Amino acid sequence: MFEEINNINIEVQNFQSKSLEEIDQFRISYLGKKGKITLLFNNFKLIPVEQKKEFGARLNILKSSALEKINLLKSSLKDHSKSKKTDTDYTIPGQPTNFGSRHPITLIRDRIINVFSHIGFSISEGPEVEDDWHNFTALNFPEEHPARDMQDTFFITDDIALRTHTSSVQVRVMENSKPPIRTISPGRVYRNEAISARAHCFFHQVEGLYIDKNVSFGDMKQTLLYFTKSLFGPDTKIRLRPSYFPFTEPSAEVDVSCTICSQKGCNVCKYSGWLEIMGCGMVDPNVLENCNIDSNIYSGYAFGMGVERIAQLIYQVNDLRLYSENDLRFIKQFRSEI
């Protein structure tokens, strides 16, 4: 009888199944009305009195370990079905990734910088809050020049203002280094203008400066032609019209052949075939002297352009305000340019 208990115990321990039906079958054949363990209980009366105690105890252990086994197998089945439900479903479409985009002004600024850095220009930056000397006086602005007027300049004190151009950075470069100097200064500038489609109180510039011995007007023209061809395409032409800036003499405005109609005539170039894109000129000897550069030995040229203006021509965006409104519907259109 005791051997019978041992044998059944081994069977119980060895039983394995992953099907609920099989486990149920197992329960019935061991613990059911006619189950092997139940029948052993029926044999209890046949056991000699002195063995009854031990037999009963071992039978109870067998019964509870069989129950334990059944519960264990059933709960592992439940766990299994639970983990199936939380399994990753690889057929669900992925979350869309939101790509950022660069601002069109950044894109155009970088293209301009790229052209000039290929021909040896360094990049210099300076403060947006600038003193009168670097923004005006060193650049040969006469005391009563209208550009110093409250209408154009945001003054902070009598002597401090928001820079109106990045020529101020070039003064700083000339003061702090010796020729040859070849540098461009990109940055934000401020002018006190009413905001409209064609004007804003701040915009971005890239200005350039080249100072060395024997620098000529021809050098400047060739450099600017190289620049415009690189930016607008190899068929681009330029023309220089006489102009005036306090810090350059002679001075000129640079026009490029209309990038939109190829000089056939359109609204953008107002049927003239030409678009104005920048100012330029030979650095006035007074400016060189103000910055401790000997104007008898050195000469140089300077130029300056508005980044928004170039961006308008390349992207054909006519309203300047769009560049600073941060409307994602506008900005996102430039993502493919990255």
Interaction site with ligand PHE (CB under 6 A): 165, 167, 207, 245, 248, 279-281, 302-304
Q: Is 133 exposed, middle or buried (0-12, 13-18, 19+ CB in 10 A)?
A: middle
Residue 62 vs 184, nearer CB to ligand PHE: 184
Q: State which residue, 12 or 205, has the beta carbon closest to ligand PHE.
A: 205
Q: Which residue's Cβ lies closest to ligand PHE? A: 304
Nearer to ligand PHE, 207 or 308 (CB): 207
DSSP assignment letter at 157: S
Smallest separation (angstroms) from ligand PHE to the CB of 281: 5
Give the span between the Cα atoms of 269 and 337, in whole angstroms. 25
Q: How far is the CB of 267 from ligand PHE (least distance, A)?
A: 25
Closest distance to ligand PHE from the beta carbon of 207 (Å): 5
**Closest of 88, 280, 31, 318 to residue 199, by C-alpha:** 318
Pairing of strands 129-131, 274-283: unpaired
Residue 290 CB contacts under 8 Å (≥ 6 apart), including other chains = 137, 138, 139, 140, 171
Give long-range contacts, CB 8 A cutoff, 24+ apart: 251-259. Answer: 251/279, 251/280, 251/281, 252/279, 252/280, 252/281, 253/278, 253/279, 253/280, 254/224, 254/228, 254/278, 254/279, 254/280, 254/303, 256/228, 256/232, 259/232, 259/233, 259/313, 259/314
For the CB of residue 217, give the shortest distance to ligand PHE in the complex, in Å.
12
Q: Which is nearer to ligand PHE, 40 or 206 (CB)?
A: 206
Joined together, the tokens standing for residue 61 give 């252990």
Nearer to ligand PHE, 207 or 255 (CB): 207
Query: Shortest approach of ligand PHE to residue 171 CB, angstroms?
Result: 11
Provide, rounded to whole angstroms, the least separation between the CB of residue 256 and ligand PHE: 16
Report the residue number, 136 or 334, with the smaller CB distance to ligand PHE.
136
